[in-house]
Amino acid sequence: MSGPLKVGLVSASDRAAGGVYRDEGIPALKDWLSKVVASPALHFEERLIPDEQAVIERTLKDLIDENGCHLVLTTGGTGPAPRDVTPEATLAVADKVMPGFGEQMRAVSLKFVPTAILSRQVAVIRGKALIINLPGQPKAIKETLDGVFAAVPYCIDLIGGPYIETDEALVKAFRPKSALKGKP
Amino acid sequence: MSGPLKVGLVSASDRAAGGVYRDEGIPALKDWLSKVVASPALHFEERLIPDEQAVIERTLKDLIDENGCHLVLTTGGTGPAPRDVTPEATLAVADKVMPGFGEQMRAVSLKFVPTAILSRQVAVIRGKALIINLPGQPKAIKETLDGVFAAVPYCIDLIGGPYIETDEALVKAFRPKSALKGKP
Amino acid sequence: MSGPLKVGLVSASDRAAGGVYRDEGIPALKDWLSKVVASPALHFEERLIPDEQAVIERTLKDLIDENGCHLVLTTGGTGPAPRDVTPEATLAVADKVMPGFGEQMRAVSLKFVPTAILSRQVAVIRGKALIINLPGQPKAIKETLDGVFAAVPYCIDLIGGPYIETDEALVKAFRPKSALKGKP
């Protein structure tokens, strides 16, 4: 039996990191994942950091290279404002860019708000981990994860991570038939 | 009260710049904006230039850095042909890339013509300005702006430009509730 | 009268190149094109190679620069796994990136499987040739080509290749009216 799914959660926000306001992104991510992921057990690594590109890059590298995270979700910092640098930091540590996640997250959000096209969210592979940028607002986090998570378990399979099973009433993980043969 | 919305309009076309045929892109852009933008007053800076990458880059920089444009719209030069270099020039002067605009402009145009996927349109942020590549044909300009402009006023807010109000019968500018609190 | 349409077909797969299993991608591509392209005559150049980035790059350059291919279709190697490097090789030999193809191929595939967002397929222009990355499975190849090929003939026109006519019962090639005037 494999070990836990190690999930890094990163909120890049000067105000939240400085205690000016309470971060709502990380609690929303934990809540969503705890409901949807049926197995293996979840182990969270949380980081509340200022939205500086170098700090975000260092945090992403540390979570994957040192802490062995299989999945890293960031929250916030993906808009057009000068302090929104999460996508740049994510691309800077990428081995492979996964353009389909950003496209689909924007397409999903666009059903709710026309300003979804302002989001610059990306997803990338670094080593054996998938990094996905998510919005800052709990409502938008849920909408976005609902829209793309079905593809995450198979992606984690392909890069060598643990076999994720979901509560199918919430999100039905999809794997091609050939992959199902290899199910542990 | 804030000053006017400064809009740069750039048509990159050897033939139009050389007087071989009449540019239809800039008049179509002015017409559309004059109808849709209710306030503040519009101030246009127009440039008809050859489609050479270095000239386009210089023009974009000049419009934003020297003329203080908040929004720059280019027309034409986004296809696969060798002389189509507007996206390259736009990316070369970018501080931030806004992938959602290109995706959504193509998705919108695809409802009209299957060759919409040949368009390489991009949008970027440079300093306090948003640059958007648009098609060359007046009909396609209207279709594309109709499809994405609802997100432009909030984008301009986020990068420090004037507060844009639209004729809501034509395009309803969207801002999240939190942003509406700050309405001047 | 113009000569044939030269089509390069590239399957990048260690196992297929090593004879471990039979490549199904190239036969599926030939079958689809032979049915859909009505004229001019098709001339195929086939390459079964290991999925190493340098080999793929060299093969793409050779097919276009030395063999004069107008269209090059690759099959497989576009996922998130470490050996999936076809998009990187394709981008490395690109003169122009055509983002609309990747977006639309993923959007089309997403109607069939949620894991379509894991595909990193790109299309690019190199010289006078269009390169498109396609999936590895025959079923997915057909779905994807059905979804984007209507735009390919006009793209080939714009970069100086032969005038392609299709069997309109299968795929109706689209060209704007202005282009139809120039039909040979």
**Highest-scoring range by mean pLDDT, A9-18, A140-149, B14-23:** A140-149
pLDDT at residue number B166: 97
Considering only CB atoms, which chain A residues are within 8 Å of C82?
A: 159
**Cα A17 to Cα B77: distance, rounded to the nearest angstrom:** 44
ipTM field: 0.92
For each of the domains in chain B, give its residue range(s) and CATH number, in order of start: 5-181 (3.40.980.10)
Model confidence over C51-74: pLDDT tens digits?
Answer: 999 999 999 999 999 999 999 999
Which residues in chain B show pLDDT less than 70? 1-2, 181-184
Q: If you average pLDDT over residues C85-111, what whole number do you get?
A: 97
Residue range A54-111, pLDDT digits in tens: 999 999 999 999 999 999 999 999 999 999 999 999 999 999 999 999 999 999 999 9
Give residues with Cβ within 8 angstroms of B168, minimum separation 6: none
- Confirm if C73 and C132 have CB atoms less than 8 A apart: yes
Q: B115, C148: Cβ pair inside 8 Å? A: no
For residue A108, how many other CB atoms are within 10 A of its CB?
17
How high is the mean pLDDT of chain C? 94
Chain centre distance of CA C126: 13
For testing the chain C interface, which of B91, B105, B115, B143 should be mutated: the one with the most C CBs within 10 Å? B115
Q: In the B/C pair of chains, how many CB contacts fall below 8 A? A: 56
Q: What is the pLDDT of residues A106-129, one digit of tens each?
A: 999 999 999 999 999 999 999 999
Contact C120 A96 (CB under 8 A): yes
Structure confidence at residue A183 (pLDDT): 53
Q: Kindly report the pTM of this predicted structure.
A: 0.95
pLDDT digits (tens, 9 = 90+) for C122-165: 999 999 999 999 999 999 999 999 999 999 999 999 999 999 99
What mean pLDDT is reported for chain B?
94
Per-residue pLDDT, B158: 96
Task: Give the C-alpha distances (Å, rounded to integers) separating C147 from B144, C103, C106, C164.
Answer: 21, 11, 10, 17
Interface of B with A (CB under 8 A): 96-101, 103-104, 107, 125, 130, 148, 150-151, 154-155, 158-159, 174-176
The pLDDT of residue A25 is above 70: yes
The token duo for A111 is 């059903």
Place of tokens 């931030």: B96
Q: For residue range C100-124, list pLDDT tens digits in order.
A: 999 999 999 999 999 999 999 999 9
**Contact by Cβ (8 Å): A71, A10:** no
Instruction: Look up residue B170 and give its two tokens.
Output: 């034509």
Which residues of chain B lie closer than 8 angstroms to A120, CB-CB? Answer: 96-100
